[in-house]
Amino acid sequence: MIIDRVEVETINSFWKLELLKEVYGLISILPILILLLGITIEVLVIVWLEREISASIQQRIGPEYAGPLGLLQAIAEGTKLLFKEDILPSRGDISLFSIGPSIAVISVLLSFLVIPLGYHFVLADLSIGVFLWIAISSIAPIGLLMAGYSSNNKYSFSGGLRAAAQSISYEIPLTFCVLAISLRVIH
C-alpha cells in the first residue's frame, strides 16, 4: 500500500509540474496578445485621424455618425465589407474566381505556422521553418493571377498581373534578407 501511495504522489507532482509549464506557456503569450491589441487600436486611431484631417483639409464634415466622434467608423466599414454581395463574373470561370483569392489568403495564413509566438510556442515545429515560410508565402501571387485571369476580362487580368508582379517584387528582397540572416546564423 505504501508503494502505491508514493507512486500516486509522484504522478501527482509530475501533473502539477506539467500544469505549471502550460500556465507559464500561456503567460508567455500574453505580451504578444497585448502587442497585437495595441497595434489594432493604433491602426483604428490612425484611420480615424486620417479621416478627420482629410475632412478638415477638404472643408467638410468628417466621420461623426458611427459612435462618439466617429470612432467606430472603421469597424462599421469593416463590417459592411464582410457583408457585401459577392458578384461573380457571367463570362468567367466561377470556380477559379472563387479559388484564386482563397489560395492567396490561405498561403498567407499557413505561413504563420512556422513563426514562433513564444519560447516553446510554435504551431508547427519544423527544422526547415524559414524555407517553408518562404515557399508558402510565394504561393500568394498565383492566387492573385488566378483571380484576375478567371474573370475573362482584360482589365481584371491586367490588374491580376500587376498585383502578382508587385507581390513578387516584394518577395525577392524579403527572401534575400531572410536567407542572408539564415546563412549567417548557420555559419
pLDDT tens-digit map of 93-131: 788 888 888 888 888 888 777 777 666 666 666 667 778
- In this prediction the pTM is 0.55
pLDDT of amino acid 5: 66
Residues 57 and 146 in one domain: no
Residues 155 and 182 reside in one and the same domain: yes
**CA–CA gap between residue 115 and residue 103 (Å, rounded):** 20
Same domain flag for 132 and 180: yes
Residues 66 and 93 in one domain: no
The C-alpha angle with vertex 128 and arms to 126 and 130, in degrees rounded to 5, equals: 105
User: Per-residue pLDDT for 186 more than 80?
Assistant: no
Secondary structure class of 120 (helix, strand, coil): coil
| 76 closest CA partner among 44, 33, 105, 50 | 44
Based on the domain organization, do 97 and 165 belong to the same domain?
yes
- pLDDT cut 70: percent of the chain above it: 75
Burial of residue 38 (CB within 10 Å: 0-12, 13-18, 19+) is exposed
Q: Over 60: is that where the pLDDT of 1 sits?
A: no
pLDDT at 162: 92
Last residue of a domain, one of 48, 65, 84: 84
Helix (H) or strand (E) holding 81: helix 73-82
Which of 84, 107, 142 represents a domain boundary (last residue)? Answer: 84
**Do 76 and 102 share a structural domain?**
no
pLDDT at 21 over 60: yes
> Domain range for residue 25?
1-84
What number is the average pLDDT over the span 52-80?
76
Regarding whether 168 and 95 lie in a shared domain, the answer is yes
Angle at 129 between CA 43 and CA 181, to 5 degrees: 80
The residue with cell 506539467 is: 18
Residues 153 and 92 sit within 8 Å (Cβ to Cβ): yes
26 vs 79, residue with greater confidence: 79
Domain boundary among 84, 106, 123: 84
Task: Report CA dihedral (114, 119, 120, 121) to the nearest 10 degrees.
Answer: -50
Residues 35 and 8 placed together within one structural domain of the fold = yes
124, 136 in Cβ contact below 8 A? no
Q: Measured between alpha carbons, how far is residue 72 from residues 39, 41, 65, 79, 84 in Å?
A: 16, 11, 9, 11, 18
Same domain, yes or no, for 41 and 107? no
Number of domains in the chain: 2
